[in-house]
Amino acid sequence: MADRVIVTIGTRKGVFVAEGARPRRRFELRGPFGPGIPVYATLIDTRGAPRIYASSCSPFFGMKLLRSNNLGKSFTETKSAPAFPKDDGRALANIWSLEAGKNRREILCGVEPASLFRSRDNGNSWAMVPGISNHEHARKWEPGGGGLCLHTIVRDGQRWHLAISTGGHYLSEDGGETFQAANTGVGAGFAPDPYPEFGQCVHKIARHDDAPGRLYMQNHGGWTHWSGPGGPRPDIGVLRSDDYGRSWRSIARGLPSDFGFPIVVHPQDADTVYVVPLEPETRTCPGGAPAVWRSENGGGSWRRLAQGFPRKRSYFTVLRDAMDIDRARTPALYMGTTTGQLWIGREGGEQWDCLFDSLPPIHNVKVAIA
Amino acid sequence: MVTVYVPSQLRKYCRGATRFPIAADTVQSALGVLEREHAALYRNLCDETGALRGHLNVFVNADHMRDLDGIDTTLAPGDEVTIVPAVSGG
């Protein structure tokens, strides 16, 4: 029986790995690996013998992928990293997402500029996935604040959901061969046309196996006071789809802000979903008081979870991949901040404690029981 | 022959060598030699389009190549080509 909780922490200065026993009372910290180099994506691949992958994207020396075969005790570079064909004209600027593919050795990788790559040999060689990377919209996407990134890959059999900032949500129903923009109901608050075919700044998408067809989205909200063409655009930031992502509707009512980055679904309950609302102007905790918000009815209503967080003077940001939830019967959430704190939300987020308080700024947090 | 000096961070991509000789008559052709003969090292120096990475500097003897003819700077036998990462970041 798997009895170790492994948490990968991708930071501005390398990747750390925290390991604890199932009670999750104490964690040992290892790292940094790839020291000094930003890490935006990690993957704990528990298919077969566990492997940990971490991007390592140096502004000096380019893109690397690190792999650990010993639960993060050491890492080595894979034989190659994703790279555009020489005649493509694009050059890789960052690696934003890593996800397990269909087969045990298959890895998917979303990058900046927004494109998708696939490895069939545990990350040692890579090929571009042309259906999205050369999509007819691809040269029309614009970069968001973090860059033009393909940051989310959600696989559901032959159905693949990708999120691009700012490109929107793209859906494949043939295993990644072809993709269509699927953004009906997804607002773009920063554009004259509030509901374009594509070009939305989607921040994150999540789903649960028990609710086929349902998806949750954290979109770029915060447009309640927009005074440009089309008028205010409230509540476009937190959305739900019940038709495999073809159309979306708001579930933001009741939140203090519809701006945020991560969105996470409870491992045993498809109706329970978590977000971290942020002030849209500063992208920090509303009122300086951090809180995670939880809905237990699929977004119908929300409850503030703040037990253990500072009550004031706390202004961090939680980035799109910096929150995850383990798969224990009573799960814990793990949340990293741009101020270098790793928080654990025990009892499904009821009680928060800071595990590590002085790490580098955190981009990415993933957890697995291995 | 000219001598290429490798920064410490990249020596693991050329079996620990601090420098090695190559036959090249321009900086561009030197990079071409590295692409063919030291591919792992080359990927750290240039992106997929062949452009030198933005935070790297190349000196020919004591002069930065940007003060000479850039990538087309000519090399003479005995020249020293030094790759220096920028002193930047935070």
Asked if the C-beta of A87 comes within 8 angstroms of chain B's C-beta atoms, the answer is no
Asked if the C-beta of B87 comes within 8 angstroms of chain A's C-beta atoms, the answer is no
- pLDDT attached to residue A230: 76
Does the beta-carbon distance from A60 to B49 stay under 8 Å?
Answer: no
Alpha-carbon span A258 to A223, nearest angstrom: 9
- Which CATH number does the domain A4-369 belong to among 3.50.30.50, 2.130.10.10, 3.40.1440.10, 2.60.120.10? 2.130.10.10
Does the beta-carbon distance from B48 to A90 stay under 8 Å?
Answer: yes
ipTM: 0.92
Of the pLDDT bands very low, low, confident and very high (cuts 50, 70, 90), residue B89 is confident
Asked if the C-beta of B11 comes within 8 angstroms of chain A's C-beta atoms, the answer is no
Chain B residues near residue A60 by CB distance under 8 angstroms: 9, 53, 55-56, 85-86
Asked if the C-beta of A90 comes within 8 angstroms of chain B's C-beta atoms, the answer is yes
Alpha-carbon span A356 to A343, nearest angstrom: 7
Does the beta-carbon distance from A86 to B10 stay under 8 Å?
Answer: no
Interface of B with A in 63-82 (CB under 8 A): none
- pLDDT attached to residue A64: 98
- pLDDT attached to residue A1: 53
Our CA-based measurement puts residue A112 at a distance from the nearest CA of chain B, in whole angstroms, of 13
Asked if the C-beta of B12 comes within 8 angstroms of chain A's C-beta atoms, the answer is no
Answer yes or no: are the C-beta atoms of A369 and A357 closer than 8 Å. no
Q: Which of A97, A29, A34 is nearest to A358 (CA)?
A: A29
Nearest CA in chain B to A57: B44
Phi, psi of B15 (to 5 degrees): 55, 35
- Looking at the partner chain, which of A59, A62, A90 has a beta carbon nearest the beta carbon of B43? A62
Our CA-based measurement puts residue A26 at a distance from the nearest CA of chain B, in whole angstroms, of 31
- Exposed/middle/buried for residue A312 (C-beta within 10 Å: 0-12, 13-18, 19+): exposed
Cα–chain center distance at A180: 21
Does the beta-carbon distance from B49 to A86 stay under 8 Å?
Answer: yes
Asked if the C-beta of A84 comes within 8 angstroms of chain B's C-beta atoms, the answer is yes
Residue extents of the structural domains in chain A: 4-369
Answer yes or no: are the C-beta atoms of A214 and A270 closer than 8 Å. yes
Tens digit of each residue's pLDDT, chain A (370 residues): 578 999 999 999 999 999 999 899 999 999 999 999 999 999 999 999 999 999 999 999 999 999 999 999 999 999 999 999 999 999 999 999 999 999 999 999 999 999 999 999 999 999 999 999 999 999 999 998 889 999 999 999 999 999 999 999 999 999 999 999 999 999 998 888 899 999 999 999 999 999 989 999 999 999 988 888 878 888 899 999 999 999 999 999 999 999 999 999 999 999 999 999 999 999 999 999 999 999 999 999 999 999 999 999 999 999 999 999 999 999 999 999 999 999 999 999 999 999 999 999 999 999 999 9
- Exposed/middle/buried for residue A175 (C-beta within 10 Å: 0-12, 13-18, 19+): middle
Alpha-carbon span A62 to A47, nearest angstrom: 29
Asked if the C-beta of B56 comes within 8 angstroms of chain A's C-beta atoms, the answer is yes
Number of other CB atoms surrounding residue A210 within 10 Å: 12
Answer yes or no: are the C-beta atoms of A59 and A36 closer than 8 Å. no
Q: Which two tokens stand for residue A157?
A: 């059999």
Taken in order of first residue, the domains within chain B and their CATH numbers are 2-85 (3.10.20.30)
Nearest CA in chain A to B7: A61
* Gyration radius of chain B's alpha carbons: 12
